[in-house]
Amino acid sequence: MARRTGGNEAAYGTLARELRDAILRDEFKDGRPLPTEAELAATYGVSRQTVRRAFLELVNEGLVTRVPGRGTFVSDPDEKYLRQVGSIEDLMALSIDTEMEIVHPLGHQADIDAAGRLQLTSDFVYSMTFLRRHHETPFCVTTVYVPPTIGKRLLQSTELPAAGRTSTLTVVGLIDSLFDDPVVEADQSITAVAADADLAKVLNCGVGEPLLRVDRVYSTASGSPVELAISYFLPRHYTYRVRLRRTAR
C-alpha cells in the first residue's frame, strides 16, 4: 500500500480505493488501526483534508470506524457482504475477498437469448454456473455466457477450476488477462425476482425468497461483447452500492 495517487480520479477517491483494497486483503487484522492522517498524507503526497475525505467515504460505506483519540479501525464484520461498484476494476476486485465454487462446469450449448445479447451470428454459446462466497457464506449464484471463441480459450486455461472446485478468480478478470482487447465497459440491469427451487437449493434460502437479479454484458475497447453474466444475490447476505457523479459543467 505505497502507490501514489494520480490519474483522472480525484485524489481522495484514489486514496479511498487504496485503503479499501488493503482492508479487503485483511491488512489491518486484530484491531490494528489504519495509518494516521499525517502518515497517509506523507505517504501519498496529499493534504490531510484529502485523507479526511477518503476516510469519510470508508465510514459511509461501513468499512471503518473512527474513534476520537485512538484512530481509525476496520468495522466489525457482520454477515452481509458489502461491495461498492464504480468501475470494471471494482468488479474484477471481487477476487480479493471472495471465492467462487463451480456448480456447472463450462460447456457448449444452444441459447438463443444469450447468443442474441452477445451479438453472435449463431445460437451457440459456452456457459458455466458458479456460487460465490464471502467468509464461507454463499451470497450469489451466477451463470456466465461467452462466445465460442472465448469459451474454447477458457477451456484451455489451467486457472479455471473444475466442477466442485473453488477459486478466487473472476471470469471477467480471466477473460481480460487472456486477450489483447481489454474489457472496458459493462451494460447492467437490475430487477427483483423470487427464488425458484434450484436457486433456493444453491443459495440455501427459501423458495419464493426475494433475490436481486443483476444482468451484465461486458464489452471490450473495440465494442465486442465478451461475457453475459446473470447473477442472483441474496439480499440478507449482500449490500450493493453504486456511486453516481454529476457531470462537470
pTM of the shown model: 0.68
What is the DSSP pairing of strand 99-110 with strand 81-85?
unpaired
Nearest-angstrom CA–CA distance, 65 and 75: 6
If you search the block for the grid coordinates 480471466, which residue do you land on?
174
Under 8 Å CB-to-CB from 39, ≥6 apart: which residues? none
Work out the percent of the chain whose per-residue pLDDT is above 90: 48
* pLDDT tens track for 70-103: 888 887 655 455 555 556 666 666 666 788 899 9
Nearest to 160 by CA among 145, 147, 146, 175: 175
Structure confidence at residue 7 (pLDDT): 44
pLDDT-derived band at 134, boundaries 50, 70, 90: confident
Q: What is the pLDDT of residues 189-224, one digit of tens each?
A: 999 999 999 999 999 999 999 999 999 999 999 999
Q: Note the pLDDT tens digit of each residue in 25-47.
A: 778 876 788 999 999 999 999 99
Task: Assess whether pLDDT exceeds 80 at residue 19.
Answer: yes
Distance (Å, rounded) from C-alpha 139 to C-alpha 98?
10
Cβ neighbors of 156 (< 8 A, separation 6 or more) are none
